[in-house]
Amino acid sequence: MHEMGIALEIIDIAEASIPAEMKDVQVESVNLRIGKLLAIVPESLTFCFSVAIKDTRLEGAQLNIEQIPVVAKCKDCDNHWTIDEPAFACPKCESGSLELISGKELDIVSIEVMDEDHST
Amino acid sequence: MSIEFFTTRKYYHHDGTKHTHHGHDHHHGTVVGSKRSGTREIKVVRSVLDANNIMADQNRKLFAEKNVFVLNVMSSPGSGKTETLVKSLALLMPEIKCAVVVGDICTTNDADRLAASGAPVVQINTDEFGGDCHLAAHVIEAAVGGIDLDTIDLLIVENIGNLVCPAEFDIGEDERVVMLSVTEGEDKPLKYPLMFRECNAALLNKIDLLPYLDCDRQEAVDNIHQVHPDIPVFEISAKTEEGFDAWIQWLKDKVASKLHA
């Protein structure tokens, strides 16, 4: 619902991550990991990003989104499983005491920039 | 959408080059490596919500210093947060000294109702921030500047009515409570699992209306427990105050456990 705010934050962080010595570099892509438990719509985020990068150092960059499944670990029987519906109990022992291993990520993993050797 | 709301870059690096939040390591150093031909990859590994999380940790530290328990109350619009808080404040005060921060996109209607309790109330209107759908940590920081934290035990934050976005934003609170009203449908916990996962207690409001509705209250409770097993669910009516004893006792115990920690 707040994809534009997220897109602006991504641009801020990505711009700040460009090393000082690469000041004129072309950013090709920003690689992002988004957990499926978050209510972030990749299509909306990609659209907001494409609009918001105009006149920034990221203009022309692609947003690559890797969606991370919701994986839980049972604290009672140590079972690991992937949650793909809103049921948060262990399918093996029915315990509700669980730890989420993944699914809430909202991380910028890396940015890819044009190699200066190749760009000339 | 106002860019101003999210231009918080000044918080990113001010406390060193590495932060540990929520068990993740955020390495701020850049590592340049070769990716595919023609491009090189610069490792970033930062949470997009870093700026918010850092601010939330600062808030949490301030609240700990001031010995203030902070409750973040979230729900859909119209589920009865304000009425529940008006009734709760009357039962909590003066034994527990309270203040309220209330967020809405527009109007000070909620603040006017809550102020009748005698508690200090700060209304946040997010239209200044682009009509935002949630309260972020830095908005809370600005709001509590108007409250004398030395004089209160409990700060209640009534978040923007929304079951989606507020769940993603840590504001530095001690506990999160989600409210569901029986008029909204029993399946809301299944539709908004993150919200119900992230909260430590749930309120099922408007139970006085059950005789007039097709809502199955047990199914609503079961759905909350399907998403978050074992969390306490308080079935209440803000209108009649049915069920308030257990809810108020839970809150008082939480406040006491922080004050006497």
Interface mutation vs chain A, best among B48, B139, B159, B163, most A CBs within 10 Å: B48
Please indicate whether, in this complex, the C-beta atoms of A115 and B1 are within 8 angstroms of each other. Answer: no
Residue A95 with chain B: CB contacts under 8 Å: 229
User: Is the ipTM beyond the 0.85 threshold?
Assistant: no
Angle, nearest 10°, between helix axes A3-17 and B50-65?
A: 100
Interface mutation vs chain B, best among A15, A23, A110, most B CBs within 10 Å: A110
Minimal-distance CA residue of chain B relative to A83 = B227
Please indicate whether, in this complex, the C-beta atoms of B168 and A37 are within 8 angstroms of each other. Answer: no
pLDDT tens for each residue of B53-82: 999 999 999 999 999 999 999 999 999 999
What is the arrangement of strands in the sheet containing B233-235, beginning at the earlier edge strand? B121-125, B98-104, B154-158, B69-75, B175-181, B201-205, B233-235
Q: How far is B189 from chain A (nearest CA, A)?
A: 8
CA–CA distance, B86 with B64 (Å, rounded to integer): 25
* pTM given for the model: 0.85
Residue B129 with chain A: CB contacts under 8 Å: none
pLDDT class of A1 with cuts at 50, 70, 90: low
What is the arrangement of strands in the sheet containing A70-74, beginning at the earlier edge strand? A80-83, A70-74, A98-102
Residue B8's pLDDT is 25
Residue B233 with chain A: CB contacts under 8 Å: none
Per DSSP, the three-state class of B235 is: strand
Q: What are phi and psi of A66, to 5 degrees?
A: -100, 120
User: Smallest Cβ distance to A39: which of B7, B194, B225?
Assistant: B194
Please indicate whether, in this complex, the C-beta atoms of A13 and B48 are within 8 angstroms of each other. Answer: yes
Residue B105's pLDDT is 86
DSSP type of residue B4: G
CA–CA distance, B109 with B104 (Å, rounded to integer): 9
Nearest to A106 by CA among A19, A3, A27: A3
Minimal-distance CA residue of chain A relative to B187 = A86
Considering the domain boundaries, does residue A11 fall inside one? yes
Structure tokens at A30: 């920003």
Give the CATH number of the domain where residue A58 resides. 3.30.2320.80
β-strands B201-205, B233-235 pairing:
parallel
Statement: residue B5 has pLDDT above 50: no
Considering the domain boundaries, does residue A120 fall inside one? no
User: Smallest Cβ distance to B35: which of A2, A18, A112?
Assistant: A112
Please indicate whether, in this complex, the C-beta atoms of A8 and B193 are within 8 angstroms of each other. Answer: no
Residue A92 sits in which domain range?
2-18+26-113
Is the Cβ–Cβ distance between B130 and B1 less than 8 Å? yes
CA terminus-to-terminus distance, chain B: 42
Q: How far is B239 from chain A (nearest CA, A)?
A: 31
pLDDT tens for each residue of B19-39: 333 333 344 444 555 555 688
User: How many structural domains are present in chain A?
Assistant: 1
Classify residue B36 as exposed, middle or buried by CB count within 10 Å of its CB (0-12, 13-18, 19+).
Answer: exposed
CA–CA distance, A117 with A22 (Å, rounded to integer): 12
The domains of chain B, with CATH numbers, are 5-11+49-259 (3.40.50.300)
